[in-house]
Amino acid sequence: MKMKALLIGILCLVFVFGAVACSNNTANEPAPANNTKAVEKEPAPAAEEPKKEELEEVEIRFTWWGDTKRHEKYNAIVDEFEKAYPHITVAREFGEWVDYWDKLATQSAGGNAPDVVGMHMTQVANYASRGALVDLQPYVDSGVLDQSDFPKPVTNSGVIDGKLVMIAQGVTMSGWVYNSGLLERLKVEPPSFGWTWDEFAAKAKEVTTAFNEKGHWGATDMGGDVTSLIYYSRGLGKNLFTEEGKLGIDQQDMVNWLTIWDNLRKEGSVPDAATTSEYRTAPLEQNLFISGKVAFHALPFNQIPNYQNYIKDGEVRALRKQVNPDGKNGEFIEGAYLAVTSGSKNPEAAAQFINFFVNNENAIRIFQLEQGAVGSTKMNELVKTLINPAQQRAVGAIEETLAFAETAPLPPKGQGEVATALLAANESVGFGQSSVEAAAAEFVKAAEAILAK
Amino acid sequence: MTTIRPGRAALHVFIIAGCLIMVYPLLWMLSSSFKFNTEIFSNTTLWINDFTIDNYIQGWKGVSGVTFGTFFLNTFYIVGMSIIGTLLSCSMAAYAFARLNFTMKKALFAIMLVTLMLPFHVTVIPQYIVFNKLGWIDTTLPLILPKFFAVEGFFIFLIVQFIRSLPRELDQAAEIDGCGPIMKYIYLIMPLAMPALVTSMIFTFIWTWNDFFSQLLYLSTLSKYTVALGLRMFTDSTGQNSWGAMFAMSLLSLVPLFAVFIFFQRYLIEGIASGGIKG
Amino acid sequence: MQAIRTFWKNNWVGYFFLSPWLIGLICLSAFPMAFSLYLSFTQYDMFTSPNWIGLGNFTEMFQDRKYLNSIEVTIKYVLIGVPLQLTFALCIALLLNRGLRGLRVYRAVYYVPSLFGGSVAIAILWRQLFGGEGLVNEFLASFGIEGKNWVSTPDTALYTLIILAIWQFGASMVIFLAGLKQIPTELYESAKIDGAGRVRQFRSITFPLLTPIIFFNLVMQIISAFQAFTPAFIVSGGNGGPLDSTLFYTLYLYQKGFTHFQMGFASAMAWLLLLTIAFITALIFVTSGRWVYYQE
């Protein structure tokens, strides 16, 4: 009996210890408001190089997502940085996309996030709204972070809740592509660069008829893709996610959206739901476009060179996302960014690093088109001289569509859940599990609940 | 040998067919590892049109100057230490549960099983916080040290079940010969539980080898990465994939796992040949 | 004082052998488990402090359609997958235990699938096999049967995962083999002399003496099937599709915790799962007295 009591006592002590340890941890994390205030209160960081004798040894950690080829490039860029700034050492951590976010979330929760992190619009709200990212505006103002060469829309695409939390490494735009060789063989005229929804449906049907073969379709089914829905809503003059982070479209819009794709499926112009689901998670090398089973595929333009690697019988050419002839342009800037975490002990060194990464000529020579067209216009011109035709086409497509782009509010917290709800809506219509009206209603209900949190 | 009866032949055919089913994916990976990246998905049969060993060479080079040689060494170290730790601590705990008596034995056994039932994703964050406070991030300590404290309840339970199948008369005979509990553990029970220990060793090897999530969280420096982490770097949904290299290195990484299994499986054969104690 | 001394004298050996595990329990397991229990009553987004909401997570859970769906998916997986996997493992173990030539090779080959773990290659292979134009459908086509897209149709996707679990039966098989090897061969010899046939031998010798191992495999497979995560994660690309037909309980838990930053909800899910598994395991333990035979 006494032993039992003793054991329970020990367990209680452990619990108390644990709770204390944990509350210490959260108390130590700087409360968001305090941290940004602290950054603003500091005297503006000096823009000139500090005198050499005053430089103390500093270490910062940099993490990014990617594949082995990207790791080589980034490591080379970081080496260049360390050469230029000998007093700063950069510890590097990297992994692939899914692992990257799991690890970053855990590190952030544990108060151990790296100084400089790769950031993306699908995740930025999660981190920024919780105070995990530093406002970089002071560093831009003082010149440590040079944004003078960046088009204003590009810089602004990193602003959320009025704070500049991330800097663009590369910008990309979404659109469609087709294989010129395939269309030639099918004797189908390529559509105009800015094709409308009706033209899209007609072309897709034309191609399917020309294929005349089972298992071949005109275009991929993008009904469940949130980026496409954002374009569509912007075409209507609305925004899927409003500035305040709420749902910007109504049920009728959703009904229209789902109907478009339902009709396409019924006409056989896009694959059936099961095929779409199967290939959704397939690797690039296996997808329907590369194996020649669909003629039109939607993607972010920076991937054009990747696709061209596998398509040998034609050129991969770009098209805009379907245009609403009576409405507005849907285009908005996407890309990959760099941000500084609020727990960083060396935010200035981190800012210097980001500056080097996006502005330094040596860095850009290595980086080239890794994440799309680079943010700085001057550097972009430099890159264009270094790349191959497919890459040039990608940059060309990005620049052309960039001209149409207007500012879009960054997706809010919960955008991931909304994306999942959209996919579910499209699939449930596709698999015949619910009617368009029911699925649309369900989506609106779910999205509003998610965004209300 | 005996003449081949039709029943026996049919059995062999059945088993061999089963083997093909088991092994087909492996064969596919093997053939893919010798194809160029562009061919792997355009030609999904086992036949290779353009043979190349480039995947192995490029794959071995690893990333940024750290080769798979380093990854393998790191992994062997972690796995080796884990095996030692697990075998020691789990066999001790199993012996206590199976053969010794002490207060709260049943309750503690229940607690041990319960620790297996909590999905690991929810203990990840508190564990990370603890290890961070201890300053053990980016070391192999969070991966190895827990193994010395029998955190893998699976093996405790496994060894318990094996020990409990051993007849008590052996124990009694040993006690008559003057063996105390510690002597019994070392000289009687552990040798007899060899199949369980070997099984535990094989599984620890394989599971630790494949346990990429903990390795992902706690290892940050590239030169400390393990094979599992290295493999995950070949593919990325946002970039280019090096499938050929990934398959090549995956196969190489299966070699030690397979070798361990083959080498040690004969110890699974040696059980009790007779009902008595040897020596 | 005397009580403590006697207690110690009686129990020191047991606690001595148990000490590594006990230390591990207290220092390494107890805190994370207790903390996650605490979190299940809070709203915790991993960046800011947890926010106590009492039973809020639990009430939300049972009104969440996806949650209820994940329970259904997981129960199906356990009820169908575990018995099938164990039966396969046992049958193959029995077959392989008969002193066949080439036993070692067969045993190793049948174990190969289990070596793959959570490799990305598995996802690709499973699509190759069960996709719309996969091997299985090609095989069926040669009989004139048109197969559907097994891996991406909501009705059948889960079964492809069950097949995956069965395909990786090697671990259970190895444990069964080890257990079979522990059965003294003289028992079989004396039985044969007494004229017992193979079936009789199995019923009277093999099965009873194997029950501790069957019990072990049953309990462990149930515990691990309830927590199955990796197969669904890699084959469905992390989203439990199509139409949530492969949304395992722990996959939804992971989504809630790491993708939607709702760690409190995830912890609540985890503890509910723990209680369920504990209850079922306790049932098995309690009834085990009737059918498990230890030589003690």
* C-alpha closest to that of A232 among A331, A157, A120, A335: A331
Tell me the domains of chain A and their CATH numbers: 2-10+58-172+334-402 (3.40.190.10), 174-330+414-451 (3.40.190.10)
The pLDDT of B157-174, averaged and rounded, is 87
* SS3 (DSSP) at A93: strand
Q: How far apart are CA B71 and CA A245, in angstroms?
A: 45
The pLDDT score that the predictor gives to residue A52 is 47
The pLDDT score that the predictor gives to residue A247 is 92
Rg (CA), chain C: 24
The C-alpha of C226 sits at a distance from chain A's nearest C-alpha, in angstroms, of 22
The pLDDT score that the predictor gives to residue B171 is 85
pLDDT tens per residue across span A56-75: 889 999 999 988 888 889 99
**Angle, to 10 degrees, between the axis of helix C30-39 and the axis of helix A2-28?**
70
The pLDDT score that the predictor gives to residue A1 is 40
Q: Write the CB contacts of A55 (distance below 8 Å, at least 6 apart in sequence).
A: A87
The pLDDT score that the predictor gives to residue A153 is 86
The domain at C57-291 falls in which architecture?
Answer: Orthogonal Bundle (1.10)
Answer with the residue of higher pLDDT: C178 or A105.
A105
The pLDDT of A152-168, averaged and rounded, is 90
Q: Is the pLDDT of residue C75 over 90?
A: yes
Biggest alpha carbon distance in chain C? 83
Number of alpha carbons in the 13 Å side-chain half-sphere of residue C71: 13
Q: How far apart are CA B34 and CA A364, in angstroms?
A: 35
Q: Is the pLDDT of residue A24 over 50?
A: no
CA distances from A106 to B83, C45, C261 (A): 27, 11, 10
Cβ atoms of C137 and A215 closer than 8 Å: no
The pLDDT score that the predictor gives to residue C234 is 85
Q: How far apart are CA B273 and CA A30, in angstroms?
A: 66
Answer with the residue of higher pLDDT: A79 or C95.
A79
Q: Is the pLDDT of residue A148 over 70?
A: yes
Closest alpha carbon within chain B to A15: B126
The pLDDT score that the predictor gives to residue C114 is 85
* SS3 (DSSP) at A178: strand
Q: Which chains touch C (3 or more CB pairs under 8 A)?
A: A, B
Alpha helices in chain C (DSSP H): 2-24, 30-39, 56-61, 65-96, 103-115, 120-130, 135-141, 157-167, 170-181, 185-193, 198-201, 207-226, 230-235, 249-254, 263-291
Cβ atoms of A422 and A253 closer than 8 Å: no
Q: How far apart are CA B220 and CA A103, in angstroms?
A: 10
Structure tokens of A99?
A: 């692992």
Substitution target in A11, A26, A62, A68 with the highest count of B β-carbons within 10 Å is: A68
Other beta carbons less than 10 A from residue A189's beta carbon: 10
CA atoms C283, C289, C291, C294: torsion sign: positive
> Average model confidence (pLDDT) for chain B?
85
Burial B186-198 (b: 16+ CB within 10 A, else e): eebbbebbbbbbb
Beta-carbon separation of B129 and A25 below 8 A: yes
DSSP per-residue letters across A27-83: HHSPPHHHHHHHHHHSPPPPSSPPPGGGPPPEEEEEEEE--HHHHHHHHHHHHHHHH
Q: Which of residues 170-199 of B touch A (CB under 8 A)?
A: none
C-chain CB neighbours of B199 within 8 Å are 174-175, 178
Q: Is the pLDDT of residue C186 over 80?
A: yes
The pLDDT score that the predictor gives to residue B3 is 56
CA distances from C137 to B149, C132, C246 (A): 49, 7, 21
Cβ atoms of A105 and A50 closer than 8 Å: no
Q: What is the pTM of this model?
A: 0.87
The pLDDT score that the predictor gives to residue B85 is 95
Question: How much of chain B exceeds pLDDT 70, in percent?
Answer: 92
Structure tokens of A162?
A: 């009025």
Q: Is the pLDDT of residue A15 over 90?
A: no
pLDDT band at residue C187 using 50, 70 and 90 as cut-offs: confident
Closest alpha carbon within chain B to C271: B118
> Average model confidence (pLDDT) for chain A?
85
Residue spans of the domains in chain B: they are 6-55, 60-275
CATH topology of domain B60-275: MetI-like fold (1.10.3720)
Beta-carbon separation of B241 and A284 below 8 A: yes
The most confident of the ranges A34-38, A164-168, B4-8 is: A164-168
Place of tokens 């602290």: A38
Cβ atoms of C181 and C209 closer than 8 Å: no
The pLDDT score that the predictor gives to residue A54 is 61
Q: Give the one of A4, A95, A111 whose C-beta lies nearest to B233's C-beta.
A: A95
Q: How far apart are CA C116 and CA C118, in angstroms?
A: 6
The pLDDT of A175-188, averaged and rounded, is 92
The pLDDT score that the predictor gives to residue C219 is 93
pLDDT band at residue A139 using 50, 70 and 90 as cut-offs: very high
**How many residues make up chain C in this entry?**
296
Q: How far apart are CA A348 and CA A88, in angstroms?
A: 11
Backbone angle region of C144, left / alpha / beta, with phi > 0 → left and psi within -120 to 50 → alpha? left
- The answer, for B276 touching chain C at a CB cutoff of 8 Å, is no
pLDDT band at residue A177 using 50, 70 and 90 as cut-offs: very high
The pLDDT score that the predictor gives to residue B188 is 85
Q: How far apart are CA A130 and CA A453, in angstroms?
A: 13
Number of alpha carbons in the 13 Å side-chain half-sphere of residue A106: 27
Q: Give the one of C110, C125, C253 whose C-beta lies nearest to B121's C-beta.
A: C253
- The answer, for B128 touching chain C at a CB cutoff of 8 Å, is no
pLDDT tens per residue across span C93-103: 888 877 667 77
The pLDDT score that the predictor gives to residue B141 is 93
The pLDDT score that the predictor gives to residue A23 is 39
Strands A58-65 and A116-120: what pairing? parallel
The pLDDT of B197-206, averaged and rounded, is 90
Place of tokens 């099938």: C84
The pLDDT score that the predictor gives to residue C146 is 83
Beta-carbon separation of C260 and A17 below 8 A: no
Q: Which of residues 217-246 of B touch A (CB under 8 A)?
A: 217, 220-222, 229, 232-243, 245
The pLDDT of B30-42, averaged and rounded, is 87
* SS3 (DSSP) at A142: coil
Q: Is the pLDDT of residue B35 over 80?
A: yes
Q: Is the pLDDT of residue A9 over 60?
A: no
End-to-end CA distance of chain C: 35
Q: How far apart are CA C42 and CA C44, in angstroms?
A: 6
Minimum mean pLDDT among A191-195, A250-254, C143-147: which range? C143-147
DSSP letter (8 states) at residue C258 = I
Answer with the residue of higher pLDDT: A290 or C128.
A290
Q: Which of residues 101-120 of B touch A (CB under 8 A)?
A: 103-104
The pLDDT of C67-93, averaged and rounded, is 94
CA distances from A309 to A290, A302, B83, B187, C154 (A): 10, 13, 45, 64, 34
Place of tokens 């079940």: B161
Q: How far apart are CA A412 and CA C260, in angstroms?
A: 12
Write phi, then psi, for B237 (nearest 5 degrees).
-70, -15
B-chain CB neighbours of C227 within 8 Å are 117, 119
Answer with the residue of higher pLDDT: C250 or C177.
C250
The pLDDT score that the predictor gives to residue A198 is 92
* DSSP element (H, E) containing B146: none
The pLDDT score that the predictor gives to residue B4 is 55
Beta-carbon separation of B234 and A306 below 8 A: no
Q: Is the pLDDT of residue A12 over 50?
A: no
pLDDT tens per residue across span A26-62: 333 333 333 333 333 333 344 444 444 567 889 999 9
